[in-house]
Structures are given as structure tokens and as C-alpha cells.
Structure 1
Amino acid sequence: MTSPNDNEPAPPAALDAASVERLVAEAEAAFAAAGSTAELKAARIAHTGDRSALALANREIGSLPPADRKDAGRRIGQARGRVNAALASREAEIVETELAQRLADERVDVTLPVELGPQGAAHPVTALIDKIADVFVAMGWEIAEGPEVESEWMNFDALNLHPDHPARAEQDTLFVEPRDRSLVLRTHTSPVQLRALLERPLPVYVVAPGKVYRADELDATHLPVFHQVEGLVVDEGITLGHLMGALEHFAREMFGDIRLRWRPDYFPFTEPSVEVDLECFVCHGESVGNPDRPCRTCRSEGWIEWGGSGVVNPRVLAAAGVDTDRYTGFAFGMGIERTLMFRNGVEDMRDMAEGDVRFSRSLVGEAR
């Protein structure tokens, strides 16, 4: 006579204790054999994925008699826990090993000599502007600025340049369209004189380096866009002697021990006006009257024109509302590119406009 349990199906072979232990051992061995993150990933999918033997065995628990499901479920759950623990342990080992290897591979010996890439440099004109600013700030002066698009009144009328003055013609000045707006690209930094007098309380000691524009052709000695430095002093008791002392100090800072020559000249915004010449820094005057030693730099004249200067015209002071019975002043203006040519022996102004970093690197140290 048979018992009631004789007709119940036998448990699937994958759920018996020996089979489950074997699956755990196979998973642990596969994890231990994995030598990289990629190999471990393949082993993880094979032994813990949805199609792994343990996952399939877990699905077969439902086919067991109710009395056997609890033990089978505990057995499979413990097995999967051991597999996951082995996977996490091996993953930590591989990550640590790969990190150590990557650090070793990427290690850089900072004591080894290296070939540095080419370095940039400040433009020599910019460096010289900074140098000039330092010279005058050390004297107690201030740096002044003004717009590059200026009104005709500021650029010409307030500086005593009458409407028929040749500098106001289109062959010299760049006008901003439409013409009836009376705006120009400033032709000199002198309008900053007026703005300084209008914006600052007296006395005024300012220097104004900046960009200016002329309708000039680009050649070895001319640029349509270049830089000037304007100096202005307005105070009580200022004379031409104060101007000469300031410019002599400025010249020594720019060129070292050099002589200056003062020549009478005419500028609408100064009266009296003087042109400042530098002693030729090539021949030092020895070429004058000496045909055996001609000098191309000064054309055997012994002097080189540097810039214009003079006592501020009272009309300019009056245009800014300054009491001309109480205050006087002096002003000067020099080309920065021209100064750079004299300091560093640059023969062609076009080199300053082409943006070649080799030119900048060759001069920037000297410009300072």
C-alpha cells in the first residue's frame, strides 16, 4: 500500500543542498579568477544575473510542495548572499589594484627637465605705457583717461584750433558718420586736458597715455592708430622752468643720461610753445659737420625731435572755467611708439602693429 506522499514530485535537482553549494563555489571561483573590472562584470552577469543558475533555481521554489519551500528559499537566499559578498570583496580588491596601477602608470617625475611651450609677452607699447605711468605716479601725478570718440569741441575748439585749421580737414582727421554729429576719433590726447580740468579740483597734475587716430598711411614711420602721452599741470605760479624740469626728469627715466634741446615753436593750445629734441643716442652729435661719420638716425644733425610742449594757452584754461589771473600751467605730448623706437632701436613702426609675439618677447624686458 502506498503513502500519500509517494505521488508528490521530487524536488528539482538545482535546489538540493549539494547543487546549491556547487553553484556558490563556481561563482566564488569565477570572481577570484577575474583580473579586471571587465572580467569581473562578465562573471557577475553569469553568476548573479537574471539568467544565472541561482536565479533560475530561485524561480523553481514555487514548484516545490508548500512544506519544502521554506527550507529551499532559505538555502537559496543564503547562497545568493554568499555570492554577493564574494563579488563585493573581489570588486574592492580589483578597484584598489587598478587604481594603484593607474597611479603608477600616470606618475610624473617632476624633477625631470621638460621642454616648455612658447610663452607670450606683454606688447612693448603696453609695457612702456606702464613704465611712463610709474614715472609720473612716483612724482605724485595722477593718471587721467578720456574717450577715444570725442566731440569736435573738445578735440579742436576748446584747444584753440579754429574752424579753418588744417588739422580739422578730412585728410588728417577721421570723422564719425553722420558728419553733422560733430564727432571724431580723437587726433591727440590733448582733450584729456580739458576733461581733467572740468572733472578735477585745482591744482591738477595729470598724465594721460592713450590711443589716437590719424588719417595716415601705414608705413615705417607712420601708423593710423598709435599712442600718445599727454602731461598737464595747472597750479599757481607754474612757469616754463617747471615744464623743463619735469621733461628732463622724464627723459632721463626713458633714455638715461641724455641732453635735451628746446626750440621755439607754435601750438594753438600752448603759448609760449617749445619743441623738445633729444641728443642723438647713436652719434651723440659727433656726426654734425663730419662727412666721414654720417648718422642715418639724426641725419647728421645731432638731435632728434621728441615732442611738443609749452605753457597752457589762457584761452584753453578759460574754456575749462579756470581763473587765468590766478592759475597757469604747462602741457606736453609725446608719441609712445616714437619713444619706443628711440629707446630700443626699432626701425619700422609696422613691427609694432603686426602682433608678432617674437617682436614683443624681444623688447618687452627692455621696454620696462
Structure 2
Amino acid sequence: MSDPQPTPTSLDYSPEHLTQRFQTLQAEFDLGLREASTPEELEDLRLKWEGRKQGRLTLLSSLWLKEAPAEKKKEIGQRFNALKDHIVSELQRAAGSRGQNVLDAEAIDITQPGTRRRLGAEHPLIRTWNEIVKIFQAMGYSVGVGPEVETDYYNFESLNFPPGHPARDTQDTLVITGQERKPLRDRLLMRTHTSPVQIRTMEQQPPPVRIVIPGKVHRNDAADATHSPIFHQVEGLCVDTNITFSDLKGTLDHFMKALFGSSVKTRFFPSFFPFTEPSADVQISCPFCGGKGCRKCKYSGWIELLGCGMVDPAVFGFVQQKQPAYDPKKISGFAFGMGIDRVAMMSYGISDISLMYSGDLRFLEQFA
């Protein structure tokens, strides 16, 4: 691109001289426009003429218009505006034309066969998660979420785990370092179950409550075929007036039939959990052999799947500190929890839990 001529700082104000000067400036711009062959060069030309501080139009305005005699300002202004309009319109036209050329070069021929994008598929864990949640949503339950880094209070104390309980042992719980100076209830840890969300929900919402809580949990377990330091749980909570153990049994029986088929049977055995009383373990008749006995049920005909029970009044006592509506004399409720990973492994015949966390496409493609 040729170098521009210097902008004149003085001017002969005769009409002939003004015409010659402005024609020279326009010709200089037109030459630069013809030589600008790339978008970068076109942008440089625009800045050279339209730049706010050092653009030639700015200099022309400050040097010619301001210094011109009063009787000449109108004529010079008209000629200046004509030159400016020419420059602006030509730059816009050139930018549009060359931009269209770029679009034409990159245009897609819709008559050509397209590149087929491979569709993804839900991970077996996510698929099982969604199936479980949908069943409870159909029964009127909402979905709760909460932090994975919890305080000792929400993870243990408010759930009736007293200090010294085995579940607090560092061999089971992953604790955050540097918490020794804090009171025990304020120390941070990786949640070992999704139960803290039950407490947080009750503190924020008066009864009735019906909530299902899927999520990731952490425990200091040695990795093997059936254990992982990271796994997934889904827990449920129902609190209202006159909630009984029969409601719990009916809810879980309906859930099992919806998930595994209408022929599945359930049975309950006494158990113990600090946050429920009475507590129970739940077994289902093996959906794979119909209760006759197979490898998946260890030839017993039954598979233990989850734990449950009626919410211990002591738990309501902790909630009452922030939400007085949870008076154990007036309300009752039940809670339950199960491992999503275990249900997925059982449903899809997966023998090693580590396969679900390996990211191996050869394994995951089986479920596409």
C-alpha cells in the first residue's frame, strides 16, 4: 500500500484550490482502498482515515475547519462532510463485499453427505440415578441437593451420632486438614452420606416434607470389586402428621416393584441406625431368578438392598433449634437410603465397581 501524502496544515481558501485539495484526498483514499487486499489491510486503512486521535479526518477537522475564516467554514464543512461520507460508505461497502467473499468460500454445500455425529448415551450410574428419582417424583417427592464438604454437625451430630461413634473414626471418614482448633461440630469433612441434606431441608422448610436426595459421598474405603472411596447414594425423607411404619413399607414396596418389576416381593428385618427408631433392613426377592436362587442372590432367593426406619425423635430435637414446627409430639416421619452404584451393578451385571469410574469406552459403549 502506498504511503499517504501529509495532511496540509494551511489552505488556500479559493474554490478552485479547495476543489483540488479535496479531490486529491479522495483519490489518495481510493488508491489505498484498491491496494487493501486483506481484511487486516482494510482495517489499517479505516484506522488511518477514521481513527479518533490520529485519523486523517480528525486532523482535517481540527486543522482546516477550526482555523478557517468564519465566512469559509460552511463551504469547507460541506466539502469535508462529502469526503467523510465517501470514505465511510466505501469502507462499509468493501468490508461487506470482502466479508461475503469469505462466506462464499466457506459456504456449506447442503447437497453433500454430512458428517454423522456419534450420539452419546447415559452412563449406567446416571441412568440408574434418573430411574430412581423419577419413581419418587411420580409419588410427589421433590429432589434435594447439598454440599459434599460438610460440617461434623450436619454429617453426624444432628443425625444423632454422638462423639465416639464408630462412624466418626478417621478410618471411615475423610476429614479436611487443619481443623483441629475448631469445635468438633464445626470441623469440615467429606460427607459420608446424603443424610445432611435431610437436616438442612427440614431447617429451611416446615412439614410436610417429601424429598429424595441423590448424590456423591466419600468414605475411606479400600478399593476392591465392590468398594470405592467415592460412590453414590440416594436417600429419602417423608415427614408429616400421622406417618407410620406402614407408610414406609408401602412406599418402599411400590418403589421396588416400579424399579424391578411387579412380581418383586419385599421383606423387612430389624436393624439399627442412629437416626431412625425403629430401623430395618429391606430385602427384595431376586428379580433375576424369581426367588429360586442364582449367583446374583447367592442362591438365597433374596437380595438385601437398603436400610430404613422411622425418624428418631432426637433428630427432630436438633431440627427444632431452627425450625420449631418439628415437634416430635405432633409429627413423625420415615427415612431410607440405598447405594445407587450397587443397584446399577446388579441391574446391568457389572462385577467390578471400578469399571464405572475408569472412563473406559470399551466398557461404556455396552450401554449405548
Superposition TM-score tier, normalisation by shorter sequence: 0.5 to 0.7
Contact 2:296 2:346 in 1 (8 A): no
How many corresponding residue pairs? 260
1:260 is the counterpart of 2:260: no
Larger Rg: 1
Task: Tell me how far 1:130 sits from its aligned partner.
Answer: 2.2
Q: Could you tell me which residue of structure 1 aligns to residue 345 of structure 2?
A: 341
Match of 1:218 among 205, 208, 223: 223
Q: Could you tell me which residue of structure 1 aligns to residue 194 of structure 2?
A: 189
Task: Tell me how far 1:242 sits from its aligned partner.
Answer: 0.5
Taking the aligned partners of 1:162 and 1:318, their CA distance within structure 2 comes to 14
1:212-253 C-alpha deviation (Å, 9 max, x unpaired)? 001012221011111100100110000011111111121122
Taking the aligned partners of 1:282 and 1:141, their CA distance within structure 2 comes to 28
Q: Could you tell me which residue of structure 2 aligns to residue 69 of structure 1?
A: none
Distance change in 2, residues 1:360/1:200 (3 Å): farther
**Normalised by the size of structure 2, how large is the TM-score?**
0.65
Q: Which amino acid aligns with 1:130?
A: N
1:85-108 C-alpha deviation (Å, 9 max, x unpaired)? xxxxxxxxxx9xxx8xx88x9745
Q: Could you tell me which residue of structure 1 aligns to residue 292 of structure 2?
A: 286
SS in 2 for 1:271: strand
Q: Could you tell me which residue of structure 1 aligns to residue 354 of structure 2?
A: 350
1:59-113 C-alpha deviation (Å, 9 max, x unpaired)? xxxxxxxxxxxxxxxxxxxxxxxxxxxxxxxxxxxx9xxx8xx88x974535x5x
Taking the aligned partners of 1:282 and 1:232, their CA distance within structure 2 comes to 29
Match of 1:249 among 245, 254, 259: 254
Taking the aligned partners of 1:172 and 1:139, their CA distance within structure 2 comes to 34
Q: Which amino acid aligns with 2:329?
A: D
Distance change in 2, residues 1:134/1:286 (3 Å): closer
Q: Could you tell me which residue of structure 1 aligns to residue 178 of structure 2?
A: 178
Taking the aligned partners of 2:290 and 2:138, their CA distance within structure 1 comes to 29
Q: Could you tell me which residue of structure 1 aligns to residue 315 of structure 2?
A: 316
1:233 is the counterpart of 2:238: yes
Distance change in 2, residues 1:115/1:107 (3 Å): closer
Taking the aligned partners of 1:106 and 1:137, their CA distance within structure 2 comes to 45
**Normalised by the size of structure 1, how large is the TM-score?**
0.65
SS in 2 for 1:252: helix
Percent identity over the alignment is 44
SS in 2 for 1:211: strand
Q: Could you tell me which residue of structure 2 aligns to residue 47 of structure 1?
A: none
SS in 2 for 1:179: coil
What is the Cα-based RMSD across aligned positions, in Å? 2.6
Task: Tell me how far 1:281 sits from its aligned partner.
Answer: 2.5
Question: Which ranges in structure 2 are unaligned for 5 or more consecutive residues?
Answer: 1-36, 38-96, 321-325
Task: Tell me how far 1:117 sits from its aligned partner.
Answer: 4.9
Contact 2:261 2:287 in 1 (8 A): no
Taking the aligned partners of 2:344 and 2:108, their CA distance within structure 1 comes to 48
Structure 2 counterparts to residues 1-368 of structure 1, below 5 A: 107=109, 109-110=111-112, 116-180=116-180, 181=182, 182-257=187-262, 258-287=264-293, 295-321=294-320, 322-363=326-367
Q: Which amino acid aligns with 1:109?
A: T
Q: Which amino acid aligns with 2:214?
A: P
Contact 2:292 2:300 in 1 (8 A): no
SS in 1 for 2:335: strand
Taking the aligned partners of 1:351 and 1:106, their CA distance within structure 2 comes to 42
Task: Tell me how far 1:116 sits from its aligned partner.
Answer: 3.2
Task: Tell me how far 1:131 sits from its aligned partner.
Answer: 2.3
Taking the aligned partners of 1:192 and 1:153, their CA distance within structure 2 comes to 12
Question: Which ranges in structure 1 are unaligned for 5 or more consecutive residues?
Answer: 1-36, 38-94, 288-294
Distance change in 2, residues 1:106/1:173 (3 Å): closer
